[in-house]
Homo-oligomer: A and B are copies of this chain.
């Protein structure tokens, strides 16, 4: 190995000899453990400051805590996750804990590798955002390390769950479109290779709520779902596919803002206007949705609150709580200019279908 290691790292032993006390004493001070006199604390703290000592997290990992929380995100591109991270870091700010992120990717395999990496690095707690793994795997992880699962709905006794009421959120979106007078309402959902029970995955819940509400309003025949991905590219492809239907849909409910952005692009490229010809609703109410020239109607869920809560629950677990907690946030509709009543029956579309140019890359 080539690490031209500079001056040797300051260790607990250096601090101990400098302060003329034992390493045990130093360890107790830095951990705020029981059995240290104020004088001792003072003395050791001074030595620590003087030498610029920092505990070696990797060494701690062998014996005690690492003061590290691992956050597994499917992908960092989705700005909604930034809200979650902000919340988590806010919660951790006044503690000794550090958050590290790892990208889980789009498949169970890559996700597993990522979470294993977290476990191998001996993090004290794990937050998994929208994991694909089956419940058994989640519980296996949770038995090794305190875990919060964010975005899944199943009930477990070994991990805590934080989620949005996706059922209600999707219902708000579809109802909003129906109330505006739409009937040809289509949906873009997310494809995954998960083996989890569909009822526990947020995208399944959203898409099933879509179908349910449609049926409840006598629109069973209008149900059409494109199964692509909660990404721009996925939304773009899904919308292109759905816009070829006849009659052409007048409203698209995308399961995530990212997908809605792609859908907007597809609508525009098809020569149709939003919301003149097609209304679009997203989910997550990311900041981008509020930009005036996107102005996307979306379902708001409080990502920062979810992040803060995840952090809090993890700290509680680390401190010893063993009972499982479920925390649910309530979504709300934020109406913007991407939704409007459908065009009147006798309307003339610009020729649809033709210009399938380049996807936004």
| A residues whose Cβ falls under 8 Å from a Cβ of B | 1-6, 54-59, 61-62, 64-66, 68, 75-77, 79, 81-82, 85, 89, 98-103, 113-114, 116-117, 120-122, 140, 143-146, 158, 232, 261, 264-265, 268-269, 273-276, 287-288, 290-295, 317-322, 337-338, 357-361
Contact across chains for B82 and A75 when beta carbons are under 8 A apart = yes
Bound-complex Cα distance A82 to B321 (A) = 36
Given known A58-B122, A76-B85, contact A318–B100 (CB-CB < 8 A): no
Most chain B CB inside 10 Å of its own CB: which residue of A4, A158, A293? A293
Given known A5-B144, A265-B292, A360-B337, contact A120–B56 (CB-CB < 8 A): yes
Copies of this chain present in the complex amount to: 2
Bound-complex Cα distance A105 to B55 (A) = 22
Bound-complex Cα distance A56 to B116 (A) = 10
Closest CB pairs A-B (n = 5): A58-B61, A268-B292, A6-B143, A101-B101, A77-B82
Contact across chains for A264 and B293 when beta carbons are under 8 A apart = yes
- Which chain B residues lie closer than 8 Å to A56 at the CB level? 120, 122
- Which chain B residues lie closer than 8 Å to A85 at the CB level? 76, 103
A231 → B minimal CB distance (Å) = 10
Which of B98, B103, B274 is in CB contact (< 8 Å) with A89? B103
- Which chain B residues lie closer than 8 Å to A61 at the CB level? 58-59, 61
A338, closest chain B residue (CB) = B360
Bound-complex Cα distance A358 to B274 (A) = 11
A169 → B minimal CB distance (Å) = 19
Contact across chains for A3 and B145 when beta carbons are under 8 A apart = yes
Contact across chains for A360 and B145 when beta carbons are under 8 A apart = no
- Which chain B residues lie closer than 8 Å to A81 at the CB level? 76
A68, closest chain B residue (CB) = B121
Contact across chains for A143 and B4 when beta carbons are under 8 A apart = yes
- Which chain B residues lie closer than 8 Å to A66 at the CB level? 58, 121
Contact across chains for B77 and A359 when beta carbons are under 8 A apart = no
Contact across chains for B100 and A140 when beta carbons are under 8 A apart = no
A61, closest chain B residue (CB) = B58
A277 → B minimal CB distance (Å) = 10
Bound-complex Cα distance A210 to B252 (A) = 42
A196 → B minimal CB distance (Å) = 21
7 contacts between A and B (CB under 8 A): A1-B64, A2-B317, A2-B322, A58-B121, A76-B82, A100-B100, A265-B292
- Which chain B residues lie closer than 8 Å to A113 at the CB level? 98
Bound-complex Cα distance A140 to B295 (A) = 46
A268, closest chain B residue (CB) = B292
Given known A122-B57, A360-B275, A360-B338, contact A2–B146 (CB-CB < 8 A): yes
A147 → B minimal CB distance (Å) = 10
- Which chain B residues lie closer than 8 Å to A79 at the CB level? 77, 79
- Which chain B residues lie closer than 8 Å to A269 at the CB level? 292
Contact across chains for B360 and A117 when beta carbons are under 8 A apart = no
- Which chain B residues lie closer than 8 Å to A144 at the CB level? 3, 5-6
